[in-house]
Amino acid sequence: MAAGTNPELQNQVIYSVYLRNHTQEGSFLALVPDLDRIKALGTDIIWLMPIHPLGLKGRKGSLGSPYANRDYRSVNPEYGSLEDFKTLVEEIHRRGMKCIIDVVYNHTSPDSLLYEQHPDWFYKRPDGSPGNRVGDWTDVIDLDYGRRELWDYQTESLCFWAGIVDGFRCDVASFVPVDFWLKARAAVEKVRPGCIWLAESVHLSFGSWARRSGLYCARDTELFAAFDMEYEYDIRESFEAYLRGGLPLSAYTGLLNFQEAMYPANYNKLRFLENHDQPRIASLIKEPEALLNLTAMLYFLKGTTLIYAGQEFCDEHLPSLFDKDVFNRDTGRDISPVLSRLREIKRGFGSGDSFTASADDDLDIALMERESEGRRSLGVFSLKAKRGDVALDLADGEYTNLVDGSTVSVREGRLRWDGRPVMITVET
């Protein structure tokens, strides 16, 4: 694992904000009035999706993707000024939260300042023109990290932003050399001790395709040398297959155990039900009780929890990356109190807990356990909102369900259960 990783990140919550689509104004300062509400969800860290100017050439949609960056060292004027951005970060800090920003270091827009100034720092097609190694990313051109001058420029850029923010979510981090990230981390640490580093690692199939195609793509085990957290995309496809009915639940829980066995003892996988690249979970899971169980399981999993803005309102529509598309707060559903309660429960878990998972495939029930010195926590989650008694390794008796404060009973080694999510903690 990366030297200096803060174990407290294990039990924290990140809230992801796409400024363009968070408010009608879509600006830095327009986010400030919403910070208290975001904080009340139990948020520890606000992740701002890219704040930099966007390219014009080849842009997608009417406004362009925030991941087609035109200038690493300034802010998107549509969001406001650099001073406005600093004001926003100060307001985030004033409420006891931290702020991380997105950095997109694999590629830039075709009309980026960096390409205008240093065209030799970019990947070239056989005909000598700039391009990208992933064909459908038509609005970007790839950087060439064989150029050591690029390493210095990018590191200096990170050090500049580290003077303002608390960390970085690194887009497609697997495609950028781990040695670069290690160099950058060491330099940034001098500016922002304890800086937070989150890697967007890639899906298992995408990484395999990239390596078969001769592209550089770091494995998750390699990325952990430079990052505090990384995406759980290594097992995401199996989770999605389960949701579609293509795999039994036990296939997913088995992979959770595999993560626990193969990664360093203090590994941290970012846990999420949705993000800006994935379908809204409420669009896939229509049964409110099943969605509640999935959400409770999310907070029980070992690793930092991610909430994408709008998830608290069970919004079913995934906002466009390329157009103005403010998320819906008027869905008639608001699970904010549940998220706040789950955050309090998560705070009580140990940062070094051991973790195991199993499943009852007939009932689609996930059974999970976390254990650290002197404390054992068990979770029971009905992911299809089915009801039925389940075997549980607990002494017979009455227990408090931490999720809602109700009492649940264990008789003859079985939980008498009505399908609600259950979390129980006992002293060992």
Q: Which residue has the tokens 């109190």?
A: 337
pLDDT of residue 388: 86
**Which amino acid is residue 101, in one-letter code?**
I
Helix, strand, coil percent content, the chain, rounded in steps of 5: 35, 20, 45
**Pairing mode of beta strands 13-17, 45-48:** parallel
**Which amino acid is residue 148, in one-letter code?**
R
Per-residue CA distances from 326 to 102, 241, 309, 317 (Å): 19, 29, 10, 10
Both tokens of 328, joined, read 């819906």
Both tokens of 252, joined, read 């997913």
Rounded CA-CA distance 154/306 in Å is 27
**Pairing mode of beta strands 422-427, 375-382:** antiparallel
Rounded CA-CA distance 23/88 in Å is 14
Size of the chain in residues: 428
Helix H segments across 213-370? 220-223, 233-244, 249-262, 281-284, 288-300, 336-347
Residues 401/422, Cβ–Cβ less than 8 Å: yes
Q: Where are the beta strands (DSSP E) in 53-195?
A: 98-103, 107-108, 141-142, 167-170
Both tokens of 364, joined, read 């689609």
Q: Which helix (H) or strand (E) holds 84?
A: helix 82-94
pLDDT of residue 355: 96
**Which amino acid is residue 277, in one-letter code?**
D
Both tokens of 323, joined, read 């157009």
Give backbone dihedrals phi and psi of 124, rounded to 5 degrees, phi first. Answer: -120, 140
Of 193, 269, 190, the closest CA to residue 233 belongs to: 269
Paired residues of 228 in beta bridges: none
Both tokens of 209, joined, read 């395709």
Task: Give every CB contact of residue 100 below 8 A, 6+ residues apart in sequence.
Answer: 14, 45, 46, 47, 48, 165, 166, 167, 168, 169, 196, 198
pLDDT of residue 217: 98
Residues 427/375, Cβ–Cβ less than 8 Å: yes
**Pairing mode of beta strands 98-103, 167-170:** parallel
Rounded CA-CA distance 323/101 in Å is 20
Residues of the chain with pLDDT under 50: none
Q: What is the average pLDDT score of the chain?
A: 96
Of 4, 78, 12, the closest CA to residue 46 belongs to: 12
Burial 86-122 (b: 16+ CB within 10 A, else e): eebbebbeeeebbbbbbbbbbbbbbbbbbbeeeeebb
Q: Where are the beta strands (DSSP E) in 36-181?
A: 45-48, 98-103, 107-108, 141-142, 167-170
CB atoms inside a 10 Å sphere around CB 395? 9
Q: Which residue has the tokens 């793509």?
A: 217
CB atoms inside a 10 Å sphere around CB 138? 14
Rounded CA-CA distance 49/31 in Å is 13
Both tokens of 173, joined, read 């981090």
pLDDT of residue 187: 98
Of 13, 184, 174, 209, the closest CA to residue 98 belongs to: 13
**Which amino acid is residue 254, in one-letter code?**
G
pTM of this structure = 0.97
